[in-house]
Structure formats: C-alpha cells, structure tokens
A and B are shown apart, each in its own frame.
Chain A
Amino acid sequence: DAGVIQSPRHEVTEMGQEVTLRCKPISGHDYLFWYRQTMMRGLELLIYFNNNVPIDDSGMPEDRFSAKMPNASFSTLKIQPSEPRDSAVYFCASLKNYGYTFGSGTRLTVV
C-alpha cells in the first residue's frame, strides 16, 4: 500500500496564479479530507468528501478555494487566484474506519 499520495511536494508560485494540489487516497478509503497547516492557525479542516461527494466545505476560506473529487482515487484542491496568505502546508488524508492516514503534504509558497 503506497499510502496517501500528494503532489507536488513543493510549489512556489506568484501571487495571482492558479495553483492545483493533487491527492490520491488509499484504495478503499471512502472519506477524504483536505487540511491546511500554518504556525498561526495550526491544522484547519478545509473540506471533506464521503464517497466522492463533498460533505462539508465550511472550512474553505474563500471562493478562491475549490475542491473536487471526480472519482474514488483522485481529488484536487485549487486556489485561483493565489495570494501570499495562502502560503501553508496542505495535507490530504483518507479514512476508512478509524484514524486518518495523512499524505506527505504540499508546501505552498505564494510570493
């Protein structure tokens, strides 16, 4: 089992550009979560899916953020346009029964 796979590992982009983060959950896991981690705010839940359906997106900070899960093996988190305050580490996690399995994260820097 390869675990939860995120790409890219690092992303540096200029303010105003579109950024797409990708996640492949563990096969058979029916929940997928996107988190953002910063020093100031800790771990924040942005959105989560159950069986590819978005259940709660109340943590998405602004309309600039959107997430999709077109199938059970792939999800994207998109920021358009990006801003410097979006700089953070973005984690994807999947869940089947008990306990999340986290991906390695994407470190996003918006300059």
Chain B
Amino acid sequence: ELKVEQNPLFLSMQEGKNYTIYCNYSTTSDRLYWYRQDPGKSLESLFVLLSNGAVKQEGRLMASLDTKARLSTLHITAAVHDLSATYFCAVDMSYPGNQFYFGTGTSLTVIP
C-alpha cells in the first residue's frame, strides 16, 4: 500500500522566516499535488506537479518534485500570517484508477 508521509506535522514559524515542508511517498508516481485547507474550510488546490524536476511557484510558496527520490517539497519564503493553514500533499496512483493518497497534513502557524 502506498504511504505518504509529511513532515513536520506541526510548524510554528515567525513572520519573515523561510521553511520547507517535506512530502515523502513510498512508491513510483509522477504526479503530486499540494492542497491548502483553512480551519473549517474545504481543500484548495495549490500546485500540480506532473513530472520529475517540476517546479511551481505562486507568491511565497514554491513546490518541487523529485520522483527518483520520491520526494516533494513545499518551500515557504518570508512567511506571512495569511499562510497559516494546513497543507496536504497527495500522490496520484493512476492504476487501477485515479485515486489520490493524501499525506497527514502539516499544520502551519505563522506568528507575528
């Protein structure tokens, strides 16, 4: 069974600092997704990474994918309070169907 592990599970960081969230998965996949969830809200798609070496950036967030290492990272640059949320990675196992396996989530709190 595919396992998707995120670390850290909880992250408290000061505004203006940089940090990286890691997503490791246990089997081959070329497609990885990052989602954001605010408290009491649904999951919002952030990034879709579809090949080895893919890098996507949006504002202060940058995601990358290394399929050989089975690792994706979500890098936060100069954090601001609005980034406080839970971040999930999800791996796409297209066989036998389009089923995503979600990581445990990383709860990020940005403090002033």
Contacts and interface: CB of A to CB of B under 8 A. Distances in A.
Nearest to B43: A102
Contact of B105 (A42, A45, A50, A99): A42
Nearest to B46: A99
Given A98-B31, A98-B48, A45 B99 contact: yes
B45 A43 contact: no
Contact of A95 (B88, B98, B104): B98
A100 B32 CA distance: 11
> Helix, strand, loop or mixed for chain A's interface?
strand
Contacts of B97: 31, 48, 50, 55-56
Contact of B42 (A42, A99, A103): A103
Contacts of A104: 41-42
Interface in A75-111: 91, 93, 95, 98-105
B33 A99 contact: yes
Nearest to A92: B42
Interface of A: 31, 33, 42-43, 45, 48, 50, 55-56, 91, 93, 95, 98-105
Interface of B: 31, 33, 35, 41-45, 48, 50, 88, 90, 92, 96-100, 102, 104-105
